[in-house]
Amino acid sequence: MTDPPAPRHIPDRLDKPLSSAIFSWEALLVVVAVAIFVVNSFASPYFLDPWSLSDLTFNFTEKALIALAMALLIISGEIDLSVAAIIALASTMMGMAVQAGAGTPALVLIGIAVGLGCGAFNGLLVTRLGLPSIVVTIGTMSLFRGVAFIVLGDQAYKGYPASFAFFGQGYVWWVVSFELALFLIAAVIYWFVLHRTSFGRRVFAIGNNPVAAQFSGVRVDRIKFILFCLTGLMSGIAAVLITSRLGSTRPSIAQGYELEAITMVVLGGVSILGGAGSILGVVLAAFIMGLVTFGLGLLNVPGIVMSIFIGLLLIIVIALPIVWRRLRGGRFA
């Protein structure tokens, strides 16, 4: 127990020596991101175009917003697999509201509220009944999407008001889309919460040792409940964005988003066992995934090859530090 397998014991230390900053996970991700950026610029003449780069961000912003909250949840030792299903349910409810004549502000509120409600439901099941989150959220994943399918069947909701399109299709300044701006602001907020508040310290404490945290006076269940609510909230926000971007709702909306969000979190250096990770890493991972998929898309590489690339990237980036440590350890042993 004295030497857990986590890659870094104190991931969040403020007084890091310079050497650790150079060899940190985030530095590695920056190098990877820059490398991919450079490769893309050489590989395709269309890549270095402000509008191309702007379009690129739409490939990941919705998933990345969820990944921010998911990172906190995974750091605390829990997981939520129902996020994409929450999007489907929230989007369906927004569609029903449109049929009933709701305006844009009401739609946004409904989407966010449904997301928050679903997150609270997950949180209650996990904290009150003491069920493992992976089991609970596999269940609610089917439940939430199932409701969407019952309501919609093979139909679609459309006819969203024109002003609603701004959230998923609008730009706040030149090529900076609303989605990207929202993601960057959310990233700063999550960075602050996780790395600069006592709440964040408690999240790390719970992930490293929930029992010790409990005995130290941390209200473990309450914090976990809040984290599930946050994940639901971000899924609700993502539902507003994607519904606005597509201009319609089908029950199959956002299929597979949960795994892509979790991939971002893991690629971002968050320990899947909990207790370690950083928001900066997750943000970098989101950009890396966007750069890779868009870069390959520009070259018309088939989607299946793209999945192989993402898989390889994940394995390489995760294996690299471990192999590096082994090699160095071997030399000194």
Partner 1 sequence: MSFLKKLLVTAAFSAAMFVNAAYAENVKIALVVKSLGNGFFDAANKGAEEAAKELGDVEVIYTGPTKATAEAQIEVVNSLIAQKVNAIAISANDADALVPALKKAMERGITVISWDSGVAPEGRQLHLNPSDTGLIGETIIKLAADYLPEGGDVAILSASSTATNQNAWIEAAKKILPEKFPKINLVATVYGDDDSAKSTDEAKGLLKSYPNLKAIIAPTTVGVVAAAQVVTDEGLIGKVNVTGLALPSEFKKFIDNGSSQAVALWNPIDLGYSAIYLAHDLAVKKEEAKPGATLSIGRVGKVTLDDTNSAAMAPPFQFDKTNIEKFSKIY
Q: Name the burial class of residue 166, with classes exposed (0-12), middle (13-18) and buried (19+) by CB atoms within 10 angstroms of its CB.
A: middle
Distance of CA 239 to the CA centre of its chain: 13
User: C-beta of 252: minimal distance to partner 1 in Å?
Assistant: 7
Q: Which stretch binds partner 1 (CB under 8 A): 120-128, 165-173, 233-241, 264-272?
A: 165-173
Residues 118-157 that bind partner 1 (CB under 8 A): 156
| 293 touching partner 1, by CB under 8 A | yes
State which of residues 30, 165, 181, 273 lies at the interface with partner 1 (CB under 8 A). 165
User: C-beta of 325: minimal distance to partner 1 in Å?
Assistant: 14
State which of residues 320, 322, 325, 328 lies at the interface with partner 1 (CB under 8 A). 320
H or E stretch covering 171: strand 171-173
| 303 touching partner 1, by CB under 8 A | yes
Closer CB to partner 1, 200 or 268, in the complex: 268
State which of residues 23, 46, 192, 215 lies at the interface with partner 1 (CB under 8 A). 46
| 300 touching partner 1, by CB under 8 A | yes
For residue 158, count other CB atoms closer than 10 A to its CB: 13
State which of residues 29, 36, 75, 284 lies at the interface with partner 1 (CB under 8 A). 36
| 83 touching partner 1, by CB under 8 A | no
| 310 touching partner 1, by CB under 8 A | no
Q: Which stretch binds partner 1 (CB under 8 A): 42-50, 138-146, 199-207, 276-284?
A: 42-50
Query: H helices of 50-197, where?
Result: 50-58, 61-75, 83-99, 104-129, 133-152, 166-169, 178-196
User: C-beta of 59: minimal distance to partner 1 in Å?
Assistant: 5
* Rg (alpha carbons) of the chain, rounded to whole number: 20
Only one residue has tokens 């310290």, namely 201
At 211, give phi and psi (nearest 5°). Answer: -70, -45
| 248 touching partner 1, by CB under 8 A | yes
Q: From CA 244, how far away is CA 240, in angstroms rounded?
A: 6
Only one residue has tokens 């639901």, namely 232
Helix (H, G, I), strand (E, B) or coil at 176: strand
Binding-site string for partner 1 from residue 52 to residue 81, where x marks contact by CB under 8 A and - marks none: x--xx-xx----------------------
Helix H, strand E, coil C: the string for 221-243 is: HHHHHHHHHHHHHHHHHHHHHHH
Closer CB to partner 1, 139 or 247, in the complex: 247
Here the tokens at position 153 are 């069947």
Torsion of CA 123, 127, 133, 136, to 10 degrees: -70
What one-character DSSP code corresponds to residue 173?
A: E
| Of residues 107, 144, 116, the one with CA closest to residue 257 | 144
State which of residues 6, 30, 33, 39 lies at the interface with partner 1 (CB under 8 A). 39
Q: Contacts with partner 1: how many residues (CB under 8 A)?
A: 52
Q: Which residues pair with 177 in a beta bridge?
A: 171
User: C-beta of 268: minimal distance to partner 1 in Å?
Assistant: 17
For partner 1, the binding residues (CB under 8 A) are: 31-32, 35-36, 39, 42-47, 49, 51-52, 55-56, 58-59, 156, 158, 165, 168-169, 242, 245-248, 250, 252-256, 293-294, 296-304, 306-307, 309, 312, 316-317, 320
